[in-house]
Chain A
Amino acid sequence: MPVTFWLVQALNGISYGMLLFLLAAGLSLIFGLMKVLNLTHGSFYLLGGYFGLAVIQRTGSFVVAVLTACFAIAIIGVIIERFFLRRLYLEELPQALVTFGFLFIFSDLATVIWGGDPQTMPKPDLFTGSLQLGTFYYPIYRLFIIGFGLAIALLLWWLQDGTRIGAMVRASVDNEEVARAMGIDVSLLFTLVFGFGAFLAALGGVMGGPIVGVYPGADFEILLLGFVVVIIGGLGSLKGSLFGGLLVGLLDTFGKVFFPELALFTIFAPMALILAIRPSGLFGRE
């Protein structure tokens, strides 16, 4: 097989991995702070895609579509946190039920509103077309996704390590009671972080719209992959989400190329291996 084949597949894997990173970062952040395993995260991704699609069909602007979709989903996230999850603090099973319930409701609602056919989002004008280097062609939009993902990763890093709010989140993750005693409004932080996590998932959904499409069932699919990412990377770790996202993106892409019938194995075998060696993930804390 030619080198370009490997290069194209690797870039495909990395760009998909960036979408997974966007999803997993929120999943991981929410768990790290509030100990909530948010199953509705898949819906945030899917609804983000559908909202973006609806906006772009009316306004024609990709940027407007991204912003509207992400903020709308963030608001939905805030509502779910404030009125539902808040009352079930640290109750694992009821939390799982509530987030599952919303996953089902949104999934069904999306089918009712947008139908069962897969749809593709148009690419932003700036990034249509392909990059050409000799005989090597590659869509510019995918390269853009890779750069965008890296930029978001840097931004999250800075937010976490270089800002006051990041310090507050880290303090609350380490010891919530002491953080409260120090005057940090942990309750507000919960809502903000949950909304921000939803924002990131929706961002993944819209940005992924032009390459993976928006279709019924994408919510469950991406949620599962997001789980694998955080299992591999470690819940609560930003580094883990990035590394895990890229790894799962590559494994998924190459798995589908080489073993189409048993594609999930190429993801789960490494997951099992890592789990056997480090139960809390590569970068997770014990």
Chain B
Amino acid sequence: MTALPSKPVRSRRGAAAVLLGLPPALLALLSLPYLLSTYDLGIVVQMMIFSLFAMSLDLLVGFTGMPSLGHAAYFGIAAYTAGLLALKLGWGVWFAMPAALIASALTAVLFGFLALRTRGSYFLMITLALSQVAWGIAFGWRSLTGGDDGMPNIPRPSLDAHWPLTDDRAFYYFVLAFVGLGTLLLVRIVASPFGYALRGIRESETRMRALGYDVWRYKFAAFVLAAVLAGLAGCLYVYYNRFVSPDYLQVVRSAEVLLMVILGGAGTLIGPAIGASLIVVLENLISAYTERWLMMIGVIYILVAMFAPRGIMGFIRERLRARARP
């Protein structure tokens, strides 16, 4: 990990670039439904959903230094909750989605009590093991979840009786709005004193404790927050896919989202979004040609770890730093 400055140092030029870049980017995102085919629009929707998912994990991995290998649990639990409530009780999006987020949060509270007693490799193992429990329930409880057949025909949400989101363009805006909200929340968290305390914990827990911070409570809060945002991504994905199966919360997915974070660059928000978008595009491209996606992504894992362990953003940062030096 690179040491971060203790104070938020953001160059004025950087801030100006963000301000100037924002309106065109927003305009582009808003006009995409009118520029792209339905298929491509679907890929953009996936890119956005997985960006949110990866950014939520980065709050733990990159900002707090907690290497979770079970993040798909919260994604999947929210997806199952939203799906079950829609299918079995006919709940609409405004009730099902908050309920799903609460389910993710409660799971994180429970898992957090266990996992937060450990760190490092132990934390990695325990988060993985706990997420497999969730997978085991989804897989084993056939009468409720349909086992490994999953649950098909989950309806697309409608905002109210007159405004269904069956239209792909309308659904795109729905996803854009929620991913935007989630991202905004993450940006605020990361830039807040709370966010800086998390970075402090990443660098040295003992020092933070000596400064009077209740480290456990900060880690716990980050853990639950990350789970809720992962749950939001899970909800959006189940509405997009209209299907949920145990694959949603499997370790393969947990590893994939970790790869997205590291590929893009842990410890930044834009990095995981880039990593997630890249992986989604690659998956769609490669899956079109071969069934050996698992093997291909295995190779990608190794390449990233060997040659770009700081990710794309880390690479760019190093370049910039090298240029800035006289």
Q: Which residues of A contact B (CB under 8 A)?
A: 31, 35, 37, 84, 87-88, 91-98, 100-105, 107-109, 112, 220, 224, 227-228, 230-231, 235, 260-265, 268, 271-272, 275-276, 279-280
Interface centre among B61, B126, B266 (most CB of A within 10 A): B126
Determine whether the beta carbon of B301 is less than 8 Å from that of A264.
no
Determine whether the beta carbon of A107 is less than 8 Å from that of B292.
no
- CB-defined contacts of A37 to chain B, threshold 8 Å: 121, 124-125
How distant is the Cα of A22 from the Cα of B120 in the complex, in angstroms?
24
- CB-defined contacts of A84 to chain B, threshold 8 Å: 302, 306
Query: Which among B113, B140, B251, B292 is the interface contact of A108 at CB below 8 angstroms?
Result: B292
Determine whether the beta carbon of B117 is less than 8 Å from that of A276.
yes
Tell me the minimal C-beta distance from B253 to chain A in angstroms.
Answer: 12
Closest to B295 in A: A108
Which 7 residue pairs are nearest across A and B when measured between Cβ atoms? A101-B301, A104-B298, A264-B136, A105-B298, A97-B305, A101-B302, A94-B305
Given contacts A93-B262, A96-B124, A231-B125, contact A104 B136 (CB under 8 A): no
Determine whether the beta carbon of B306 is less than 8 Å from that of A87.
yes
How distant is the Cα of A268 from the Cα of B110 in the complex, in angstroms?
13
Q: Which residues of B contact A (CB under 8 A)?
A: 61, 67, 69, 113-114, 117-118, 120-122, 124-126, 128-130, 132-133, 136-137, 140-142, 251-252, 255, 258-259, 262, 266, 292, 294-295, 297-302, 304-306, 309
Determine whether the beta carbon of B294 is less than 8 Å from that of A104.
yes
Interface centre among B118, B133, B141 (most CB of A within 10 A): B133
Determine whether the beta carbon of B117 is less than 8 Å from that of A275.
yes
Closest to A260 in B: B140
Closest to B125 in A: A227
Determine whether the beta carbon of B305 is less than 8 Å from that of A231.
no
Determine whether the beta carbon of B67 is less than 8 Å from that of A93.
yes
- CB-defined contacts of A276 to chain B, threshold 8 Å: 113-114, 117
Query: Which among A101, A220, A272, A275 is the interface contact of B251 at CB below 8 angstroms?
Result: A220
Determine whether the beta carbon of A104 is less than 8 Å from that of B295.
yes
- CB-defined contacts of A264 to chain B, threshold 8 Å: 132-133, 136-137, 140
Query: Which among B129, B136, B295, B297 is the interface contact of A271 at CB below 8 angstroms?
Result: B129
Determine whether the beta carbon of B129 is less than 8 Å from that of A231.
yes
Closest to B134 in A: A264
Determine whether the beta carbon of B117 is less than 8 Å from that of A279.
yes
Query: Which among A31, A92, A97 is the interface contact of B259 at CB below 8 angstroms?
Result: A97
Determine whether the beta carbon of B130 is less than 8 Å from that of A98.
no
- CB-defined contacts of A112 to chain B, threshold 8 Å: 292
Determine whether the beta carbon of B136 is less than 8 Å from that of A100.
no
Interface centre among B125, B126, B306 (most CB of A within 10 A): B125
Determine whether the beta carbon of B302 is less than 8 Å from that of A102.
yes
Determine whether the beta carbon of A104 is less than 8 Å from that of B117.
no
Determine whether the beta carbon of A101 is less than 8 Å from that of B300.
yes
How distant is the Cα of A231 from the Cα of B118 in the complex, in angstroms?
11
Tell me the minimal C-beta distance from A107 to chain B in angstroms.
Answer: 6
How distant is the Cα of A92 from the Cα of B262 in the complex, in angstroms?
12
Determine whether the beta carbon of A230 is less than 8 Å from that of B125.
yes
Determine whether the beta carbon of B262 is less than 8 Å from that of A97.
yes
Tell me the minimal C-beta distance from B75 to chain A in angstroms.
Answer: 18
Other A-B pairs beyond A97-B262, A98-B302, 20, CB < 8 Å:
A92-B120, A93-B262, A93-B266, A95-B305, A100-B298, A102-B298, A104-B294, A105-B294, A105-B295, A108-B294, A112-B292, A224-B128, A231-B122, A261-B142, A264-B136, A265-B133, A268-B130, A268-B133, A276-B113, A276-B114
Tell me the minimal C-beta distance from A24 to chain B in angstroms.
Answer: 12
10 A-B pairs (CB sep. < 8 Å): A92-B67, A92-B121, A96-B124, A100-B259, A104-B297, A105-B298, A224-B251, A272-B114, A275-B114, A276-B114
- CB-defined contacts of A228 to chain B, threshold 8 Å: 129
How distant is the Cα of A280 from the Cα of B252 in the complex, in angstroms?
26
Query: Which among A88, A224, A260 is the interface contact of B129 at CB below 8 angstroms?
Result: A224
Interface centre among B120, B255, B304 (most CB of A within 10 A): B255
Closest to B117 in A: A279
Closest to A261 in B: B140
- CB-defined contacts of A87 to chain B, threshold 8 Å: 306
Query: Which among A95, A105, A227, A280 is the interface contact of B299 at CB below 8 angstroms?
Result: A105
- CB-defined contacts of B137 to chain A, threshold 8 Å: 262, 264
Determine whether the beta carbon of B262 is less than 8 Å from that of A108.
no
Determine whether the beta carbon of B299 is less than 8 Å from that of A101.
yes
Closest to A107 in B: B294
Closest to A221 in B: B132
- CB-defined contacts of B124 to chain A, threshold 8 Å: 37, 92, 96
- CB-defined contacts of A265 to chain B, threshold 8 Å: 133, 136
Query: Which among B122, B262, B297, B302 is the interface contact of A279 at CB below 8 angstroms?
Result: B122
Closest to B293 in A: A108
Tell me the minimal C-beta distance from A91 to chain B in angstroms.
Answer: 7
Given contacts A96-B124, A101-B299, A104-B297, contact A262 B140 (CB under 8 A): yes
How distant is the Cα of A108 from the Cα of B299 in the complex, in angstroms?
11
- CB-defined contacts of A93 to chain B, threshold 8 Å: 61, 67, 258, 262, 266, 305, 309
How distant is the Cα of A173 from the Cα of B298 in the complex, in angstroms?
30
Query: Which among B126, B132, B255 is the interface contact of A275 at CB below 8 angstroms?
Result: B126
Determine whether the beta carbon of B122 is less than 8 Å from that of A100.
no
Query: Which among B61, B126, B295, B309 is the interface contact of A91 at CB below 8 angstroms?
Result: B309
Query: Which among A98, A262, A280 is the interface contact of B306 at CB below 8 angstroms?
Result: A98
Tell me the minimal C-beta distance from B264 to chain A in angstroms.
Answer: 13
Closest to A109 in B: B295
- CB-defined contacts of A227 to chain B, threshold 8 Å: 125, 128-129
